[in-house]
Each structure stands twice: as C-alpha cells, then as structure tokens.
C-alpha cells in the first residue's frame, strides 16, 4: 500500500499504534475490575489490535544497509570487534557525555547516505556537476541525504560549542584513531608542528591533553558528501587513460577541519584594512617565509652534498643511457 509508505501514512500508523494500545489497556482494565460492559470493552480492545496488526502487515520493512561498503573494516567483523557506531558510543562514554546529547546525535546516523552507486540510476556527474546542471534537487536520495547532512551538522557544531568534553573526545579520536585502531600501528601518537619561521615541535596527543584541547577549540565539524568516480578498462584510451566512466559513487562522511591561513587572516580583519592584492601578498609571503626557513634547515641537515640531499628526500637516482655509439 503506497499510502503507508508516504509521510502521512507513517504518521497515521504511529498514531494508530498508540490509540490501539490505549484501547486494549482500557478493555483489560474493565475486565480486571469487573466493571459494567467489561466483556464488550475487551472485545473492542482486542478487535482494534487485530485491525492494527492487519494494517502493519502492509508496512514496508526498514531498509538494511550494507555499511561495509562505507567502512571496509566491517566486512567479516565478529562480535568481539568494534563497529563504527560502537566506537562512537565508547568514545562518548569515555568522555562522560550525557545521554541526551548522545541521543540527539544518534538520531542522525540512520539518515546518512550509505555507499550508493549512481550507475544503477543512470546518473552521471559529481555533486558540483549535478548542481550546475540543475539536476541535484531532482534526485530524491541525494536531496534527502543533503538535508540530513545539514541537520546533523547543526547539532554536531552545537555539541562542540556547548560540550567541551565531547569536542575534545571527538577531536582526540579524529587525531589518533585510538578506539578505531585499538592502539595498534594505525594509531597516531605524535604530531610534528611547524610555524612560518620553520621552527618545529613534537606533541604527544596521549600525554599532552592541553594540545588536544587547543586543537578542539580550532576544529570545525562538518557532514557532507564524498564521492569517487568509477573506471572501466574498456574505456581506456589516449584521451581517457584511466577509463573514467562519468558515474560516481556517493556516501556520507563526517569529519573535522582546522582553520587554515586564509581563514585566520580573514578573522583578523586584514581584508578590511588592506586591498585584496595586499592581502594575497601577505598570505603568499607567509607561505614563502615558511618554505625558505624549512629549506635553510634542510640544507644544514644534508650538509650540501647531492647524495645527502637524495637521502634526506628518500630518493634514489635512476640512470638510463643508450649503449649505441655513433662514429
């Protein structure tokens, strides 16, 4: 029944379940208390429940997604291994985040888009291509997922602002992968940070919680589409060496980003006080200064010898020559 699959139909069934349960309980109460018309009330209550069960038989089962397409580590996972959802639960539990926040964020997970191959729908192009062609809003599955992204992003950013423990726990896991990789070789412990003068410092995310707190205040969570274009060996040609098909696979991704140089300069209000070209020049000079300082330190490290330079850059020379001598 198409009606039950619509939004109105789902709302109708939700109300019907509640009303039916209330009538059944009322009928049972009449029977237990031996009130007048107890038999009739019990018949009405059970009859109502029977009708509800009849309608529920036509409800479409909830879609079960193959999350291993998004998270390959789920493939072949046994009960002892952590799923991404359990990773999130453990992370929030370790951070002692309240249940209301967990519930408000958890409601968005079911609305995220699983790995979806657009070849099945015969639709070519990535999100930008589809938006330029005015077709993105016409694709229901992508439109709904995009709306879910925006809602999730609002709640996620609100959680970062209002709950510092959550922000720090989320950032720590994003930086280290501690829960995901279980303190294996995939876990990141140390971070090498350099400034524009070429000065470097190493931080240990596990022991230096102050550094994690600092990063947590700078990151900005985001929820958006990620996509990859499929390829075909049959389409490979000089003009298309990778055999790109034009069809993309879309999926939802949650991530965090740190403010970059441009954002930092804009927030300082430099563009308000300088011309556009002066602003670009300032940013360029900062990057140039950093590279110059880095190269000076690199030259000191390699001692000015070609073989030391190749060793420093982990390069090995490959020499090719023709053994044909013409007289």
Where do we find the tokens 């729908």?
121
The pLDDT, as a whole number, for residue 87 is 56
Residues in a beta bridge with 173 = none
Using pLDDT thresholds of 50, 70 and 90, give the confidence band for residue 302: low
Residues 268 and 246 in one domain: no
Residues 143 and 288 in one domain: no
Residues 161 and 296 in one domain: no
Residues 268 and 154 in one domain: no
Q: Is residue 49 part of a domain?
A: yes
Residues 165 and 33 in one domain: no
pLDDT at 275 over 90: no
Q: Is residue 318 part of a domain?
A: no
Residues 253 and 267 in one domain: no
Cα dihedral 13, 19, 25, 27 in deg (nearest 10): -110
Please give the residue range of the domain that contains residue 39.
2-56
The pLDDT, as a whole number, for residue 165 is 83
| % pLDDT > 70, the chain | 64
Spatial contact of 202 and 242, defined as CB atoms under 8 Å apart: no
Phi and psi for 198 in degrees, rounded to 5?
90, 5
The pLDDT, as a whole number, for residue 274 is 44
Q: Is residue 325 part of a domain?
A: no
Residues 97 and 116 in one domain: yes
Residues 251 and 294 in one domain: no
Spatial contact of 238 and 170, defined as CB atoms under 8 Å apart: no
pLDDT at 304 over 70: no
The rounded distance, in Å, linking the Cα atoms of 310 and 313 is 5
Q: What is the pLDDT of residues 86-120, one digit of tens each?
A: 555 565 566 555 666 667 777 787 778 788 888 88
Q: Is residue 66 part of a domain?
A: no
- The count of domains in the chain is 3
CB atoms within 10 A of CB 288: 12
pLDDT at 198 over 80: no
The pLDDT, as a whole number, for residue 264 is 46
Q: Is residue 302 part of a domain?
A: yes
Q: Is residue 102 part of a domain?
A: yes
Q: Is residue 64 part of a domain?
A: no
The rounded distance, in Å, linking the Cα atoms of 230 and 115 is 13
Q: Is residue 156 part of a domain?
A: yes
Q: What is the pLDDT of residues 11-41, one digit of tens each?
A: 888 888 888 888 888 888 888 888 888 888 8
Residues 252 and 269 in one domain: no
Residues 43 and 83 in one domain: no
The pLDDT, as a whole number, for residue 298 is 63
Residues 180 and 132 in one domain: yes
Tell me the average pLDDT across 138-146.
Answer: 89
Residues 9 and 87 in one domain: no
Provide the token pair at 292: 């110059």
Provide the token pair at 287: 């990057």
């Amino acid at each position: 029944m198409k009606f039950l699959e619509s939004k109105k139909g789902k709302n109708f069934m939700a109300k019907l379940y509640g009303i039916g349960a209330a009538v059944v309980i009322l009928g049972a109460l009449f029977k237990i208390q031996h009130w007048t018309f107890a038999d009739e009330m019990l018949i009405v209550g059970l009859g109502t429940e029977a009708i509800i069960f009849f309608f529920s038989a036509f409800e479409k089962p909830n879609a079960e997604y193959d999350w291993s397409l998004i998270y390959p580590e789920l493939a072949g996972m046994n009960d002892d291994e952590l799923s991404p959802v359990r990773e999130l639960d453990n992370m929030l539990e370790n951070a002692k985040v309240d249940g209301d926040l967990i519930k408000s964020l958890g409601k968005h997970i079911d609305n995220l888009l699983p790995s979806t191959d657009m070849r099945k729908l015969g639709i070519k192009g990535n999100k930008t291509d589809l938006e330029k062609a005015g077709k993105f809003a016409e694709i229901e599955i992508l439109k709904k997922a995009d709306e879910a992204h925006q809602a999730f992003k609002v709640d996620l950013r609100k959680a970062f602002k209002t709950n510092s423990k959550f922000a720090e726990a989320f950032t720590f896991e994003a930086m280290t992968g501690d829960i995901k990789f279980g303190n294996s070789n995939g876990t990141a412990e140390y971070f090498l940070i350099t400034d524009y003068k070429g000065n470097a410092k190493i931080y240990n995310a596990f022991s230096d919680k102050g550094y994690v707190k600092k990063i947590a205040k700078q990151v900005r969570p985001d929820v958006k589409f990620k996509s990859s274009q499929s390829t075909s060996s049959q389409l490979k040609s000089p003009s298309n060496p990778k055999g790109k098909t034009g069809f993309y696979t879309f999926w939802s991704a949650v991530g965090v980003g740190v403010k970059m140089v441009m954002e930092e300069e804009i927030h300082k209000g430099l563009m308000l006080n300088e011309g556009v070209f002066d602003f670009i020049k300032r940013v360029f000079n900062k990057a140039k200064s950093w590279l110059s300082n880095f190269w000076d330190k690199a030259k000191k490290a390699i001692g000015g010898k070609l073989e030391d330079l190749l060793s420093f850059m982990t390069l090995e020379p490959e020499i090719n020559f023709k053994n044909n001598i013409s007289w």
